[in-house]
Structure 1
Amino acid sequence: MDRGSERDAAPGRGAGDIAAGRIPLAVVVVDRAGTVSHWSSGAGRLFGVSREDAVGRPAADLLPVSGALPDDPDESATPDVHPLHDGPGPDLELSLGGHSGYATAGRARLDPPGRARGAGDRLDVLWWAYPLVGPGPSRLLVLAADATRLRDERGYDDETAERISPGFARHTELPASEELERRLPDILPNMGPGLSARIVSQVLELGYPVLEFSQYDRVPVTPYWGVPRRPGRTRAEAVVPQQRTSAVVPAGAEQDLEYAAVRERLEFLNEVSSGIGTSLDLGETIREVTSAAVPRFADFAGTHLRAAVLAGEGFPDGPPDASTVMFRVWVEHNDEPGRWDDTVPVGEAFAFPEHTPFYQCMVTGEPVLVPRVTEELSERISGEFEKRDLRPLITGRSLLIVPLKARNVVLGFMVLMRRPDRPRFDDMDRTTGAELAARAGLVLDNARMYTYQENVADTLQDSMLPQITPRMAGCDIATRYLPGTRLGRIGGDWFDTIKLPGSRTALVVGDVMGHGLNSAAMMGQLRTAVQTMATMETPPAQLLRNLDDLARRLGDAYLATCLYAVYDPIRGELTLANAGHIPPVLVRAEDGSSELLDLPTGAPVGVGGVPFEAARVKVRPGDRLVLCTDGLVEVRGSDIGEGLAALCESAAHPAASMDDACDTIIRALNTRGGRKDDVALLMARLNGIPDDHVAAWQLDADPREVARARRLVRRQLLDWGLPQTVETAELLVSEVVTNAVRHAEGHRVGLRVVRTDALLFEVTDDEPTLPAMLNAGPHDESGRGLRVVSRLAREWGASASGHHKTVWFEQAIAAR
């Protein structure tokens, strides 16, 4: 693919080929170790070194571009411009533009590496170096041409040849960009279409090589292209090396005041461009943009933005008008302190009056220049603002108002003023101010979009995470969630607590593989599925099998780890099943020891075909269970075992409260460097339910047992000192037991009452069909029982397991 560098003959130019001819180019690729990995035939002819001898050698030994090479000590040097001069060796001229991501260029006279020093005329080499990013070992692309051949074969005289220097031009600046994009792969080494396309795109992005005769003449250099003859111009100093923003300064041009003014403004804009947009924080960006203009360009700068931009909302809808509210977001000046504070306070919001230059700039989107604010204009502007006397501040000053735009929509504007003792703003300043505002507008819009995306991410993440109740039946809950440090802040980590029949609680923690919106959306689907199956009393192992099937039906990319635990506070037992998640930590209240529970691990849901097993663990009141995602314990470059050991140690640390215990764990593990993933932490203190707070009876499937059920409930509630709950409890128990007795297929009906922060009543029979709420007519004798329960109970429900069902309801304990 380096045919372009092998053909030395220069074809004739056609009638339309005025701007460019053809030029043979040497093509070299340098790898990350600084050695040559590709060496074209043209490079062999130019430097006198064959491909076999060049590949694998240090590039600094062969090329005059050592300052642009990877890991070169010269890369820390400040970019500079030096005149070309003679001297020995290939390191005569060094590219000092070592900033990563920037293309560099230079011109050097050197002894060819393939010939003995002094064996002949020295080479006059023009070169361009492009840093390459992305996968693969390639680090630097070097293009080189023989300036001597331009003089000898193209007929350039010495004066013309001396004025040639290499540079860069964006492909939008010259009409030859399409031809360049089509032909540039021809000169690249034979490395495959993927890598070639990547290099082409980076060359087009950084600017393609041109030959410069002066600051005005930029002739593109592409395969088979060359430099046409041009009439003689003012002799210029040859310059090396150059960055693409540099200009070749003709000799004596420093005396040209207009040129000096242009150069000064370009330098100012370059400095501003490098100084703004260092942060995606909207407030910081606003301060950078405003402060950039003072004092070099203006004595006062005030930035005003639309409310939608400042709030980080969506893109402003349409152009501003007389009703558009603008916020003065920052003011910078070099007057005496406090002079502007009361008259133009930061944070003020108002709509600008129509008959002002501010309004004109806002609605037209064009700069407004007032060379000098006369007393008449000053009084007219001041009169448009109630209770504001702007005259002492603006009279006699030069005023320039420039719009802050992005995508042709005005986001706001910047007010710039100069004191009377400085030169007034002129047309050149208006152009400079407009360019300043254009760059500032893009930077502000980037910050606005980032703020908007952060707000969307936070809202989405908050909506996905549950609002955990701190107290469940027989256990206390505390949680923490930390978003990852990756850009976007949205992840697939989740936790949940689910209330189950029988005063049980399901504890869930999961982690969807990946990051971003897709992971968050998958997390929401899986979390909803777990909640649904949990309320249907699906056993833990079966729940994970069902979740695995769901993930595979949703798509091949759906993979997640999940740990599902059910706590029975009456039995003092945990039932756990694990799908590829890190194990939980159990802290024993008796001695304060902590351990990682040894559970059957299983595979992540979505893998398919892997069995899941459940394990039972006995627990005592006061024990604590800690579940978390791997973002808390796993750090790149460290063994996860170290993180799990630190989790056990920090979980066992005594704490005054559950929240304090969570904070202790976070402080202990979140200080470990390198954490980028989300963190979900759920801690449950397993308090249990005392035996004397549970009462259970067995009833016969006989209608006469309904009255007995009422008596048993009355006696128990009175023993617990809850007389205020008796009447409602008797009515509800009567309705539920009546349904069970009427429809039961077996001979026994179970009744259980549990006292926690509320009263839980459970009625169990051998008919697995769940009851349904009916619409009873005025003449129907039945069908109203569940409606009564729904009206009077705090909550109610029914679940089926095996060959029996349980209907339950909760009754609040009224305060006495």
Structure 2
Amino acid sequence: MRTENRLGRAQKQAEDLRLQLARAEEERDRAQQVADLAARQISQLEEELRGLRPGTEPGFHVPSGAEVAVPGPAGTTTDDDALDQVDAALQKARDVLDREHEAVREAAEDVGWWDGENAEHQGGVVPGQVVRDEPTTRDDAPGLFETTPNNPPTSAATPGAGAELVVRGASDFMRFVGAATRRISRGIDLDEIVLGLCRASVPTFSDAILVYLRDPLPVGDERPVAPFVLRLRRADRLRLDEVEGEERTLVPDSDPLAAELCAVRSGGALAEVLRGVRPVFGDSAAARAALLELLGPEYVLPSPRRAILAPLRGRRRVIGTAVFLRRPERSGFGPNDLLGANQLATQTALGIDKAVLYGREASIADELQRRMLPASLPQLTGARLVSRYLPAAETARVGGDWYDAIPLPGHRVALVVGDVMGHSMASAAIMGQLRMAAQTLAGLDLPADEVLRRLDQQAQALGHDRLATCTYVVYDPVSHRITIANAGHPPPILLHLGGRAEVLRVPSGTPIGVGGVEFEAVELDAPPSSTLLLYTDGLVESRLRDVWTGIEQLRERLATTAQLTGRDQPPPLEALCDHVLDMLGPGDRDDDIALLAARFDGIAPNNVAYWFLEPEDAAPERARRLARRALVRWELEEISDSVELLISEVVTNAVRYAERPVTLRLLKTDVLRCEVGDDSPQLPRRRWARDTDESGRGLAVVEALSSRWGAVPTYGGKAVWFEVDLASP
């Protein structure tokens, strides 16, 4: 069922993505049509201008804004004013066209689109714009400037045309470099930055690119390890389908002939090029030797001026290199292309440095988060626990959400979920301090409201702005009851066996850290096979919904999930948590999420025996007699002698210091547990008795005959307990 739900979500997302891509493609085509129309109108207006100006001949191009001497009587300026207005209108039209072209171009680059017919051009693709800034010699048209297919080529020797073509080509190239650097700088991790370089370069700047990075990459001020090894990180190339007329497609795969690893030899050709830092053409002897060393001896190098080797230098050292390649049928690289490659390599190297540092900080943050949260949940008698934690996003991995489960005397357990305000290392540190404080207070077996009150004092001691919300729950499997105290946290949800999910009515309370407030605890039933869900507000609150809407959706989600397993069978805890997290949409991850689910199995009443004993000399003998009856009822006569001796020793110590009645409780689960409670706060400690001592051997006997034993403080005194394994008496 879980796989089908995820498959359905993936199919829906894919369909939405296809619709968005189709809509964006329509908008791009519409913008291209507007640009074509504007280019044709400009051409028509220029022809009309040449016809209106006296002294112009067909084929003579007058640059916009140029002054032309018009013969005629002095003082006739009406026509000149009109022509100047036309010139101004033409210039405004060109400016609008350039802005339209830049917007279309950046949008196309952002979504990875490109027109295959114009992939060979270095500049823009809007009809009517020149796309190179220097003459390109061809066999059929020597000395011509390249233009787009819808515009006839213009001779470089045409009077007045060359200067405008060079200026427009340089401007177009600068727009490409600006868009490419913006795309590279948007990346935050290593793969995003390298992908940005590849997508920005292919096919606009080159037909293929290979990016090699140092392995391993040095971080910050770390000294790089020897030897100097480069590993192929990514390679993209433009593949032209064999079917004539098909568009070119961008293929993110490696050239099979390019080497995956390259050990840079000290003093070799590649080391010299990398030491020089600046990009070089692949036509010189040193550059070709460096390319063969990098790509491998079997790699077929392209013809001259169709390869650029650009070292990637970070803030302190060379961390890799990029190789830009063009096919033979495409024009070679020019001097401006070398400058553009240098700009792309510099931006990429600085971004990689940033990404490596960010990766180290993220790993530290992840380790801090793991250390702050429990490594595993305790195995309890009468309850089962499952937890989940999700960070808010890649950019905010460390948060203040936490959860915990703390075993208490008598098979009870304290369940804690809290949320420190903020997403930072400071929030995580405060969360860790509050979690440790909660564990310490729970170990004192304080009432739930008292635990929150003391947590509030601890938060105030950390600072005036240290606020947090928290829910503290104590479950008793013997009485099948839960005690809840809340401090401004979303209320828990209890899922009953029949599938009914209810939001528990608990006092909302005030966040801890405010100070000067009282907390209230409520006691509720926890039926067997019921499930309690504790969570933080990141699960139910986002920019798209308020917290109470999210709580209602969560309640409905739990009820729907419970119906899948029937009314007599509770849903598995692991699957339940997964279904709960599946309710999160793309816009619902504004905050980190902590989730703790507890299944209450309880302990059957017939497996519990409980008595009160007066603190008198006859109490140990009475305790032995009561315990013997219980063991007979449970058919555990074989361990009766050892258990009676242990109970006698523990009860004797309790009666010696107690002023109020002593409690004796036996619990039969997979082990036999005995608990003796009294009102004395002093915990017993084992002593090493000498041969002449008349006392001090009771705890030694308990340690020798029991499987485990211990003593814990309680709110009214202490409790001493021991356990005996039933399998091996």
TM-score bracket for this pair, using the shorter chain length: 0.5 to 0.7
The Cα shift of 1:304 comes to 1.4
Say whether residues 1:744 and 2:649 are aligned partners: no
Match of 1:371 in 2: 283
Contact kept, 8 Å, 2:494 with 2:532, in 1: the verdict is yes
Question: What amino acid does structure 2 have at the position aligned with 1:750?
Answer: T
Match of 2:669 in 1: 756
Question: What amino acid does structure 2 have at the position aligned with 1:269?
Answer: V
Say whether residues 1:658 and 2:597 are aligned partners: no
Provide the C-alpha distance between the structure 2 equivalents of 1:814 and 1:326, rounded to a whole number of angstroms.
61
Question: What amino acid does structure 2 have at the position aligned with 1:304?
Answer: Y
Contact kept, 8 Å, 1:544 with 1:605, in 2: the verdict is yes
Alignment match of 2:520 (pick from 606, 613, 616): 613
Contact kept, 8 Å, 1:766 with 1:803, in 2: the verdict is yes
Provide the C-alpha distance between the structure 2 equivalents of 1:673 and 1:680, rounded to a whole number of angstroms.
18
Say whether residues 1:358 and 2:270 are aligned partners: yes
Change over 3 Å in CA distance of 1:396–1:779 after alignment to 2: farther
Match of 2:222 in 1: 317
Alignment match of 1:631 (pick from 525, 528, 538): 538
The Cα shift of 1:498 comes to 1.1
The Cα shift of 1:632 comes to 2.3
Say whether residues 1:408 and 2:316 are aligned partners: yes
Match of 1:90 in 2: none
Alignment match of 2:448 (pick from 523, 537, 540): 540
Per the alignment, in what secondary structure is the counterpart of residue 689 of structure 1? coil
Say whether residues 1:497 and 2:405 are aligned partners: yes
The Cα shift of 1:490 comes to 2.5
Match of 1:10 in 2: none
Alignment match of 2:505 (pick from 577, 588, 598): 598
- Cα deviation digits, residues 747-802 of structure 1 (max 9, x gap): 85433221334443212233221223456678767656657767886654423335
Unmatched segments (≥5 aa) in structure 1:
1-73, 87-106, 108-161, 167-250
Between 1:776-785 and 1:792-801, the stretch displaced more is 776-785
Question: What amino acid does structure 2 have at the position aligned with 1:273?
Answer: T
Alignment match of 1:569 (pick from 477, 489, 495): 477
Question: What amino acid does structure 1 have at the position aligned with 2:574?
Answer: D
Say whether residues 1:481 and 2:389 are aligned partners: yes
Contact kept, 8 Å, 1:725 with 1:814, in 2: the verdict is no
Match of 1:798 in 2: 711
The Cα shift of 1:606 comes to 1.2
Change over 3 Å in CA distance of 1:598–1:363 after alignment to 2: same
The Cα shift of 1:460 comes to 2.7
Provide the C-alpha distance between the structure 1 equivalents of 2:432 and 2:649, rounded to a whole number of angstroms.
38
Contact kept, 8 Å, 1:573 with 1:619, in 2: the verdict is yes
- Cα deviation digits, residues 407-442 of structure 1 (max 9, x gap): 233332213345677776676554432222001223
Q: Counterparts in 2 of 1:726-737, with a 5 A limit?
A: 733=647, 736-737=650-651
Alignment match of 2:461 (pick from 549, 553, 557): 553
Change over 3 Å in CA distance of 1:801–1:392 after alignment to 2: closer
Match of 2:350 in 1: 442
Alignment match of 2:608 (pick from 694, 697, 707): 694
Say whether residues 1:433 and 2:347 are aligned partners: no
Match of 2:125 in 1: none
Match of 2:419 in 1: 511
Per the alignment, in what secondary structure is the counterpart of residue 551 of structure 1? helix
The Cα shift of 1:705 comes to 6.5
TM, length-normalised to structure 2: 0.67
Provide the C-alpha distance between the structure 2 equivalents of 1:734 and 1:797, rounded to a whole number of angstroms.
16
Percent of paired sites with the same residue: 38
Provide the C-alpha distance between the structure 2 equivalents of 1:407 and 1:442, rounded to a whole number of angstroms.
7
Higher helix fraction (1 or 2): 2
Match of 1:269 in 2: 177
Provide the C-alpha distance between the structure 2 equivalents of 1:372 and 1:263, rounded to a whole number of angstroms.
29
The Cα shift of 1:360 comes to 3.0
Question: What amino acid does structure 1 have at the position aligned with 2:720?
Answer: V
Between 1:574-583 and 1:759-768, the stretch displaced more is 759-768
Per the alignment, in what secondary structure is the counterpart of residue 612 of structure 1? coil
Question: What amino acid does structure 2 have at the position aligned with 1:679?
Answer: I
The Cα shift of 1:285 comes to 2.5
Match of 1:462 in 2: 370
Match of 1:649 in 2: 556
Match of 1:172 in 2: none
Unmatched segments (≥5 aa) in structure 2:
1-30, 46-64, 66-90, 96-158, 241-250, 566-570
Provide the C-alpha distance between the structure 1 equivalents of 2:239 and 2:483, rounded to a whole number of angstroms.
72
Contact kept, 8 Å, 1:475 with 1:688, in 2: the verdict is yes
Q: Counterparts in 2 of 1:579-594, with a 5 A limit?
A: 579-589=487-497, 591-594=498-501
Provide the C-alpha distance between the structure 1 equivalents of 2:328 and 2:633, rounded to a whole number of angstroms.
92
Change over 3 Å in CA distance of 1:775–1:368 after alignment to 2: farther
Alignment match of 1:670 (pick from 566, 581, 584): 584
Per the alignment, in what secondary structure is the counterpart of residue 290 of structure 1? helix
Q: Counterparts in 2 of 1:233-252, with a 5 A limit?
A: 252=160
Alignment match of 1:328 (pick from 232, 244, 249): 232
Q: Counterparts in 2 of 1:70-469, with a 5 A limit?
A: 252=160, 254=162, 266-309=174-217, 314-315=219-220, 317-318=222-223, 320=224, 322-334=226-238, 341-344=255-258, 348-349=260-261, 351-362=263-274, 365-367=277-279, 369-373=281-285, 390-394=297-301, 400-417=308-325, 429-469=337-377
Provide the C-alpha distance between the structure 2 equivalents of 1:373 and 1:610, rounded to a whole number of angstroms.
80
- Cα deviation digits, residues 75-110 of structure 1 (max 9, x gap): xx99x9999xx9xxxxxxxxxxxxxxxxxxxx9xxx
Per the alignment, in what secondary structure is the counterpart of residue 506 of structure 2? coil
The Cα shift of 1:486 comes to 8.0
Contact kept, 8 Å, 2:408 with 2:414, in 1: the verdict is yes
- Cα deviation digits, residues 363-398 of structure 1 (max 9, x gap): 564545542459x965x986x79xx96245238656
Provide the C-alpha distance between the structure 1 equivalents of 2:253 and 2:658, rounded to a whole number of angstroms.
90
Contact kept, 8 Å, 2:302 with 2:326, in 1: the verdict is no
Contact kept, 8 Å, 2:654 with 2:662, in 1: the verdict is yes
Between 1:449-458 and 1:756-765, the stretch displaced more is 449-458
